[in-house]
Amino acid sequence: MASLSDLPIRDDLRGLTPYGAPQKHVRYALNVNENTHPIPEPVAREIIESLAHAVLTANRYPDREFMELRESLARYLGHGLTADHVWAANGSNEIIQQLLQAFGGPGRSVLGFPPTYSMHPIITAGVGSAWVTADRDAGFDIRPETAVRAIEQHRPDLVFLCAPNNPTGTGLALETIEAAYDATDGIVFVDEAYAEFMPKDKPSALTLLPGRERLVVSRTMSKAFAFAGVRVGYLAADPVIADALRLVRLPYHLSALTQAAAVAALAHAPEMLAMVDDIASQRDRIVAELPALGYRPWPTEANFVLFEGVENPQATFRALLERDILIRDVGIPNTLRVTAGTAEETSFFLESLAALGPGGAR
Protein backbone atom coordinates (compact mmCIF):
# COMPACT_ATOMS: atom_id res chain seq x y z
CA MET A 1 0.00 0.00 0.00
CA ALA A 2 1.32 3.45 -0.93
CA SER A 3 1.88 6.22 1.60
CA LEU A 4 1.51 9.98 1.27
CA SER A 5 5.26 10.27 0.79
CA ASP A 6 4.85 8.29 -2.45
CA LEU A 7 2.50 10.90 -3.91
CA PRO A 8 3.33 14.29 -5.46
CA ILE A 9 1.46 16.08 -2.65
CA ARG A 10 2.05 19.81 -2.12
CA ASP A 11 5.26 20.46 -0.22
CA ASP A 12 3.49 22.59 2.39
CA LEU A 13 1.16 19.67 3.23
CA ARG A 14 3.91 17.12 3.79
CA GLY A 15 4.11 15.96 7.37
CA LEU A 16 0.77 17.45 8.39
CA THR A 17 -1.87 15.38 10.15
CA PRO A 18 -5.63 15.66 9.59
CA TYR A 19 -8.20 16.59 12.22
CA GLY A 20 -8.37 13.59 14.46
CA ALA A 21 -10.95 13.76 17.26
CA PRO A 22 -11.50 10.13 18.34
CA GLN A 23 -14.67 8.51 17.01
CA LYS A 24 -15.46 5.61 19.29
CA HIS A 25 -18.76 3.93 20.08
CA VAL A 26 -19.27 4.60 23.76
CA ARG A 27 -22.26 5.13 26.01
CA TYR A 28 -21.20 8.65 26.97
CA ALA A 29 -19.55 10.62 24.14
CA LEU A 30 -18.52 13.92 25.73
CA ASN A 31 -15.48 14.79 23.62
CA VAL A 32 -16.48 16.97 20.64
CA ASN A 33 -18.93 19.41 22.25
CA GLU A 34 -22.00 18.03 20.54
CA ASN A 35 -25.43 18.75 21.94
CA THR A 36 -26.20 15.37 23.52
CA HIS A 37 -29.90 16.18 23.89
CA PRO A 38 -32.11 14.69 21.15
CA ILE A 39 -34.14 16.98 18.91
CA PRO A 40 -37.66 17.31 20.39
CA GLU A 41 -39.90 14.76 18.68
CA PRO A 42 -42.56 17.22 17.42
CA VAL A 43 -39.82 19.32 15.82
CA ALA A 44 -38.15 16.22 14.38
CA ARG A 45 -41.42 15.21 12.74
CA GLU A 46 -41.78 18.59 11.06
CA ILE A 47 -38.18 18.41 9.86
CA ILE A 48 -38.92 14.99 8.36
CA GLU A 49 -41.99 16.38 6.59
CA SER A 50 -39.91 19.21 5.19
CA LEU A 51 -37.29 16.74 3.98
CA ALA A 52 -39.96 14.58 2.34
CA HIS A 53 -41.24 17.58 0.42
CA ALA A 54 -37.70 18.47 -0.68
CA VAL A 55 -37.06 14.93 -1.90
CA LEU A 56 -39.97 15.27 -4.35
CA THR A 57 -38.02 17.95 -6.21
CA ALA A 58 -34.53 16.52 -5.66
CA ASN A 59 -34.20 15.92 -9.41
CA ARG A 60 -33.63 19.67 -9.71
CA TYR A 61 -30.66 21.64 -8.42
CA PRO A 62 -31.27 23.45 -5.14
CA ASP A 63 -31.61 27.21 -4.79
CA ARG A 64 -28.04 28.32 -5.38
CA GLU A 65 -28.58 31.41 -3.22
CA PHE A 66 -30.52 29.50 -0.49
CA MET A 67 -32.62 32.59 0.08
CA GLU A 68 -35.24 31.02 2.34
CA LEU A 69 -32.51 29.73 4.64
CA ARG A 70 -30.70 33.08 4.68
CA GLU A 71 -33.95 34.87 5.50
CA SER A 72 -34.62 32.39 8.32
CA LEU A 73 -31.10 32.84 9.72
CA ALA A 74 -31.38 36.63 9.57
CA ARG A 75 -34.66 36.53 11.51
CA TYR A 76 -33.08 34.26 14.08
CA LEU A 77 -30.01 36.47 14.54
CA GLY A 78 -31.88 39.77 14.74
CA HIS A 79 -29.66 42.86 15.17
CA GLY A 80 -31.27 44.40 12.10
CA LEU A 81 -29.66 41.84 9.80
CA THR A 82 -31.20 40.87 6.47
CA ALA A 83 -30.66 37.92 4.17
CA ASP A 84 -28.04 39.95 2.32
CA HIS A 85 -25.89 40.01 5.47
CA VAL A 86 -25.98 36.24 5.89
CA TRP A 87 -24.14 33.41 4.18
CA ALA A 88 -24.31 29.67 4.92
CA ALA A 89 -22.33 26.54 4.15
CA ASN A 90 -21.83 22.93 5.16
CA GLY A 91 -20.76 23.62 8.73
CA SER A 92 -18.78 26.58 9.97
CA ASN A 93 -15.63 24.81 8.78
CA GLU A 94 -16.72 25.37 5.18
CA ILE A 95 -17.47 28.98 6.06
CA ILE A 96 -13.87 29.29 7.26
CA GLN A 97 -12.57 27.54 4.16
CA GLN A 98 -14.48 29.82 1.79
CA LEU A 99 -13.34 32.89 3.71
CA LEU A 100 -9.72 31.78 3.46
CA GLN A 101 -10.09 30.91 -0.21
CA ALA A 102 -11.33 34.44 -0.87
CA PHE A 103 -9.02 36.43 1.40
CA GLY A 104 -6.13 34.08 2.17
CA GLY A 105 -4.08 31.81 -0.05
CA PRO A 106 -0.36 31.56 -0.89
CA GLY A 107 1.67 34.52 0.26
CA ARG A 108 -0.92 35.59 2.82
CA SER A 109 -1.01 35.00 6.57
CA VAL A 110 -3.58 34.32 9.29
CA LEU A 111 -3.02 35.34 12.91
CA GLY A 112 -4.38 33.13 15.68
CA PHE A 113 -4.07 32.97 19.44
CA PRO A 114 -3.56 29.37 20.59
CA PRO A 115 -4.78 27.39 22.28
CA THR A 116 -7.75 27.81 19.97
CA TYR A 117 -9.96 25.81 17.63
CA SER A 118 -7.75 23.17 16.03
CA MET A 119 -9.36 23.48 12.59
CA HIS A 120 -8.28 27.11 12.19
CA PRO A 121 -4.63 26.28 11.40
CA ILE A 122 -5.60 23.12 9.49
CA ILE A 123 -7.90 24.95 7.08
CA THR A 124 -5.35 27.76 6.83
CA ALA A 125 -2.72 25.26 5.70
CA GLY A 126 -5.19 23.71 3.27
CA VAL A 127 -5.44 26.94 1.27
CA GLY A 128 -1.70 27.56 1.37
CA SER A 129 -1.73 30.44 3.85
CA ALA A 130 0.78 30.89 6.67
CA TRP A 131 -0.55 30.39 10.20
CA VAL A 132 1.18 32.77 12.62
CA THR A 133 0.51 32.86 16.34
CA ALA A 134 0.67 35.15 19.33
CA ASP A 135 0.49 34.41 23.04
CA ARG A 136 -2.63 34.91 25.11
CA ASP A 137 -2.70 36.76 28.41
CA ALA A 138 -3.13 35.08 31.79
CA GLY A 139 -6.26 32.98 32.09
CA PHE A 140 -6.35 32.45 28.30
CA ASP A 141 -7.63 36.01 27.89
CA ILE A 142 -6.77 38.36 25.00
CA ARG A 143 -6.64 42.00 26.06
CA PRO A 144 -7.06 44.73 23.42
CA GLU A 145 -3.42 45.78 23.71
CA THR A 146 -2.31 42.16 23.29
CA ALA A 147 -4.26 41.82 20.05
CA VAL A 148 -2.96 45.12 18.71
CA ARG A 149 0.64 44.28 19.55
CA ALA A 150 0.39 40.94 17.74
CA ILE A 151 -1.19 42.54 14.67
CA GLU A 152 1.47 45.23 14.51
CA GLN A 153 4.18 42.57 14.79
CA HIS A 154 2.86 40.11 12.21
CA ARG A 155 0.78 42.33 9.86
CA PRO A 156 -1.58 39.44 9.00
CA ASP A 157 -4.11 39.42 6.19
CA LEU A 158 -6.70 37.80 8.46
CA VAL A 159 -7.12 37.79 12.25
CA PHE A 160 -8.93 34.82 13.79
CA LEU A 161 -10.62 35.21 17.17
CA CYS A 162 -12.74 32.57 18.93
CA ALA A 163 -15.46 33.81 21.28
CA PRO A 164 -16.08 31.83 23.44
CA ASN A 165 -12.75 30.18 22.82
CA ASN A 166 -12.43 26.49 22.05
CA PRO A 167 -10.89 24.55 23.83
CA THR A 168 -10.75 26.78 26.92
CA GLY A 169 -14.28 28.23 27.05
CA THR A 170 -12.84 31.71 27.66
CA GLY A 171 -14.97 34.71 26.75
CA LEU A 172 -13.72 37.64 24.68
CA ALA A 173 -14.41 41.32 25.30
CA LEU A 174 -15.90 43.36 22.48
CA GLU A 175 -13.17 45.91 23.12
CA THR A 176 -10.59 43.36 21.96
CA ILE A 177 -12.47 42.78 18.70
CA GLU A 178 -12.81 46.52 18.12
CA ALA A 179 -9.12 47.09 18.79
CA ALA A 180 -8.12 44.27 16.45
CA TYR A 181 -10.33 45.65 13.70
CA ASP A 182 -8.90 49.15 14.03
CA ALA A 183 -5.33 47.81 13.98
CA THR A 184 -5.56 45.99 10.64
CA ASP A 185 -6.68 46.53 7.07
CA GLY A 186 -7.42 42.83 6.76
CA ILE A 187 -10.34 40.60 7.66
CA VAL A 188 -11.22 40.09 11.33
CA PHE A 189 -13.02 36.79 11.79
CA VAL A 190 -14.86 36.03 15.05
CA ASP A 191 -15.85 32.38 15.55
CA GLU A 192 -18.99 32.37 17.72
CA ALA A 193 -19.80 28.67 17.49
CA TYR A 194 -20.80 28.62 21.17
CA ALA A 195 -22.52 32.02 21.33
CA GLU A 196 -25.85 30.66 22.54
CA PHE A 197 -24.16 29.41 25.71
CA MET A 198 -22.72 32.79 26.68
CA PRO A 199 -24.26 34.71 29.59
CA LYS A 200 -27.55 36.15 28.40
CA ASP A 201 -26.47 39.69 29.22
CA LYS A 202 -23.20 39.45 27.27
CA PRO A 203 -23.35 41.13 23.83
CA SER A 204 -22.34 39.26 20.71
CA ALA A 205 -19.83 40.49 18.15
CA LEU A 206 -22.88 40.89 15.91
CA THR A 207 -23.40 44.24 17.62
CA LEU A 208 -20.14 45.48 16.09
CA LEU A 209 -21.03 44.78 12.45
CA PRO A 210 -22.52 48.16 11.39
CA GLY A 211 -19.85 50.22 9.64
CA ARG A 212 -17.25 47.42 9.72
CA GLU A 213 -17.20 45.80 6.28
CA ARG A 214 -14.12 43.68 7.13
CA LEU A 215 -15.65 42.08 10.24
CA VAL A 216 -17.08 38.56 9.90
CA VAL A 217 -18.97 36.72 12.65
CA SER A 218 -19.63 33.00 12.19
CA ARG A 219 -22.13 30.74 13.92
CA THR A 220 -23.19 27.11 13.67
CA MET A 221 -26.33 25.03 14.12
CA SER A 222 -24.25 22.09 15.36
CA LYS A 223 -24.20 23.03 19.05
CA ALA A 224 -27.26 24.86 20.35
CA PHE A 225 -29.56 23.41 17.64
CA ALA A 226 -28.33 19.81 18.03
CA PHE A 227 -27.65 19.75 14.28
CA ALA A 228 -24.06 18.48 14.21
CA GLY A 229 -24.94 15.71 11.78
CA VAL A 230 -26.74 18.02 9.36
CA ARG A 231 -23.74 20.36 8.82
CA VAL A 232 -25.02 23.93 8.75
CA GLY A 233 -22.72 26.85 9.52
CA TYR A 234 -23.30 30.48 8.66
CA LEU A 235 -21.88 33.97 8.98
CA ALA A 236 -23.09 37.51 9.33
CA ALA A 237 -21.19 40.36 7.72
CA ASP A 238 -21.49 43.26 5.33
CA PRO A 239 -23.21 42.03 2.13
CA VAL A 240 -19.97 42.57 0.20
CA ILE A 241 -18.45 39.58 2.04
CA ALA A 242 -21.02 37.28 0.44
CA ASP A 243 -20.07 38.73 -2.95
CA ALA A 244 -16.47 37.66 -2.28
CA LEU A 245 -17.50 34.15 -1.21
CA ARG A 246 -19.55 33.64 -4.36
CA LEU A 247 -16.27 33.78 -6.27
CA VAL A 248 -14.91 30.67 -4.52
CA ARG A 249 -17.92 28.59 -3.43
CA LEU A 250 -18.79 25.46 -5.36
CA PRO A 251 -22.02 25.67 -7.38
CA TYR A 252 -25.08 24.59 -5.40
CA HIS A 253 -22.90 23.88 -2.36
CA LEU A 254 -25.88 23.55 0.01
CA SER A 255 -28.14 20.62 -0.86
CA ALA A 256 -31.90 20.99 -0.99
CA LEU A 257 -32.17 18.57 1.94
CA THR A 258 -29.78 20.60 4.08
CA GLN A 259 -31.67 23.78 3.32
CA ALA A 260 -35.04 22.18 4.08
CA ALA A 261 -33.91 20.70 7.39
CA ALA A 262 -32.34 23.95 8.57
CA VAL A 263 -35.33 26.10 7.65
CA ALA A 264 -37.66 23.73 9.50
CA ALA A 265 -35.44 23.73 12.59
CA LEU A 266 -35.17 27.52 12.62
CA ALA A 267 -38.97 27.77 12.50
CA HIS A 268 -38.89 26.08 15.92
CA ALA A 269 -35.95 27.97 17.40
CA PRO A 270 -37.56 28.44 20.86
CA GLU A 271 -38.18 24.69 21.24
CA MET A 272 -34.71 23.84 19.97
CA LEU A 273 -33.01 26.38 22.22
CA ALA A 274 -34.87 25.16 25.29
CA MET A 275 -32.03 22.65 25.58
CA VAL A 276 -29.46 25.41 26.01
CA ASP A 277 -30.45 26.36 29.54
CA ASP A 278 -30.28 22.73 30.67
CA ILE A 279 -26.85 22.28 29.09
CA ALA A 280 -25.60 25.48 30.72
CA SER A 281 -26.86 24.28 34.09
CA GLN A 282 -24.95 21.01 33.71
CA ARG A 283 -21.85 22.96 32.67
CA ASP A 284 -22.14 25.09 35.78
CA ARG A 285 -22.67 21.97 37.86
CA ILE A 286 -19.42 20.49 36.54
CA VAL A 287 -17.59 23.72 37.34
CA ALA A 288 -19.07 23.75 40.85
CA GLU A 289 -18.34 20.10 41.69
CA LEU A 290 -14.89 19.56 40.18
CA PRO A 291 -12.98 21.42 42.94
CA ALA A 292 -14.24 18.96 45.56
CA LEU A 293 -12.67 16.18 43.44
CA GLY A 294 -9.31 17.96 43.42
CA TYR A 295 -9.50 19.68 40.02
CA ARG A 296 -9.53 23.32 38.93
CA PRO A 297 -12.07 24.13 36.21
CA TRP A 298 -11.37 27.12 34.02
CA PRO A 299 -14.16 29.72 33.68
CA THR A 300 -16.25 28.87 30.63
CA GLU A 301 -18.94 30.49 28.50
CA ALA A 302 -19.35 27.48 26.20
CA ASN A 303 -20.98 24.04 26.52
CA PHE A 304 -17.82 22.39 27.82
CA VAL A 305 -15.37 22.62 30.71
CA LEU A 306 -11.58 22.56 30.58
CA PHE A 307 -10.17 21.42 33.91
CA GLU A 308 -6.62 21.14 35.21
CA GLY A 309 -4.98 19.17 37.98
CA VAL A 310 -4.85 15.96 35.93
CA GLU A 311 -1.54 14.28 36.71
CA ASN A 312 -1.57 12.05 33.62
CA PRO A 313 -4.16 13.19 31.06
CA GLN A 314 -3.73 10.19 28.75
CA ALA A 315 -4.00 7.69 31.60
CA THR A 316 -7.11 9.42 32.92
CA PHE A 317 -8.54 9.59 29.39
CA ARG A 318 -8.04 5.82 29.02
CA ALA A 319 -9.42 5.06 32.47
CA LEU A 320 -12.60 6.98 31.70
CA LEU A 321 -12.83 5.31 28.30
CA GLU A 322 -12.80 1.94 30.04
CA ARG A 323 -15.86 3.19 31.92
CA ASP A 324 -17.55 3.99 28.58
CA ILE A 325 -16.93 7.76 28.76
CA LEU A 326 -15.12 9.60 25.98
CA ILE A 327 -13.76 13.07 26.80
CA ARG A 328 -10.93 15.05 25.17
CA ASP A 329 -7.22 15.56 25.71
CA VAL A 330 -6.63 18.86 23.90
CA GLY A 331 -2.89 18.91 24.46
CA ILE A 332 -2.77 21.52 27.22
CA PRO A 333 -0.55 20.08 30.00
CA ASN A 334 -2.35 18.50 32.96
CA THR A 335 -5.81 19.25 31.58
CA LEU A 336 -8.76 17.48 30.02
CA ARG A 337 -11.94 18.84 28.46
CA VAL A 338 -15.45 17.48 28.91
CA THR A 339 -18.67 18.40 27.11
CA ALA A 340 -21.65 19.31 29.27
CA GLY A 341 -24.38 16.81 28.46
CA THR A 342 -27.56 15.65 30.13
CA ALA A 343 -27.96 15.38 33.90
CA GLU A 344 -27.42 11.62 33.66
CA GLU A 345 -24.25 12.02 31.61
CA THR A 346 -22.90 14.66 33.97
CA SER A 347 -23.58 12.51 37.03
CA PHE A 348 -21.88 9.48 35.53
CA PHE A 349 -18.85 11.53 34.48
CA LEU A 350 -18.42 13.10 37.92
CA GLU A 351 -18.89 9.77 39.69
CA SER A 352 -16.39 8.05 37.41
CA LEU A 353 -13.82 10.81 37.81
CA ALA A 354 -14.27 10.70 41.57
CA ALA A 355 -13.62 6.94 41.52
CA LEU A 356 -10.19 7.58 40.01
CA GLY A 357 -9.18 9.70 42.99
CA PRO A 358 -7.50 13.14 43.10
CA GLY A 359 -5.32 13.79 40.08
CA GLY A 360 -6.94 11.02 38.07
CA ALA A 361 -5.41 7.79 36.85
CA ARG A 362 -1.65 7.43 36.95
Q: Indicate whether 188 and 282 sit together in one domain.
A: no
Residues 6+ apart with CB under 8 A from 212: 181, 188, 238
What is the model's pLDDT at position 21? 67
User: In this structure, are 163 and 241 located in the same domain?
Assistant: yes
- Rounded to whole angstroms, the Cα distance separating 213 from 84 reads 13
Residues 285 and 255 in one domain: no
What domain range includes position 288? 21-39+270-356
* Shared-domain flag, residues 240 and 299: no
End-to-end CA distance of the chain: 38
**Rounded Cα–Cα distance for residues 263 and 269 (Å):** 10
d(CA 268, CA 152): 45
Query: H or E stretch including 241?
Result: helix 239-246
CA-closest candidate to residue 106, choices 121, 119, 122, 125: 125
What residues have CB less than 8 Å from 8, skipping those under 6 apart? Answer: none
| 10-residue averages of pLDDT along the chain (362 residues) | 84 80 83 94 96 97 98 98 98 98 98 97 96 98 98 98 98 98 98 97 97 98 96 98 97 97 97 93 98 97 98 96 96 97 97 94 82
> Is residue 285 situated within a structural domain?
yes
For residue 350, the domain's CATH number is 3.90.1150.10
What pLDDT, on the 0 to 100 scale, is given for residue 22? 67
How big is the CA angle at 31 (ends 344 and 139), to the nearest 5 degrees? 105
Q: Is residue 324 situated within a structural domain?
A: yes
If asked whether residues 260 and 274 sit together in one domain, one would say no
Give per-residue burial for 17-52: e unless 16+ CB within 10 Å, then b: eeeeeeeeeeebbbbbbbbbbebeeebeebbeebbe
Comparing CA positions, the residue from 128, 215, 216, 114 lying closest to residue 167 is 114
263 lies in the same domain as 274: no
Cα–Cα dist 176/161, whole Å: 9
Q: Is residue 10 part of a domain?
A: no
Whether residue 184 contacts residue 226, with contact meaning beta carbons closer than 8 Å, is answered with no
d(CA 193, CA 144): 21
Domain boundary among 267, 290, 321: 267
Question: Could you tell me if 85 and 31 lie in one domain?
Answer: no
Cα separation, 115 vs 133, in Å, equals: 10
- pTM comes to 0.95
Are 29 and 52 contained in the same domain?
Answer: no
CB 206 within 8 A of CB 81: yes
Tell me which residue of 235, 155, 158 sits closest to 191, measured CA to CA.
235
Q: Is residue 178 part of a domain?
A: yes
Q: C-alpha distances in angstroms, 140 versus 114, 132, 177, 218, 231?
A: 9, 17, 15, 21, 29
* Total of domains in the chain: 2
The verdict on 237 and 158 lying in the same domain is yes
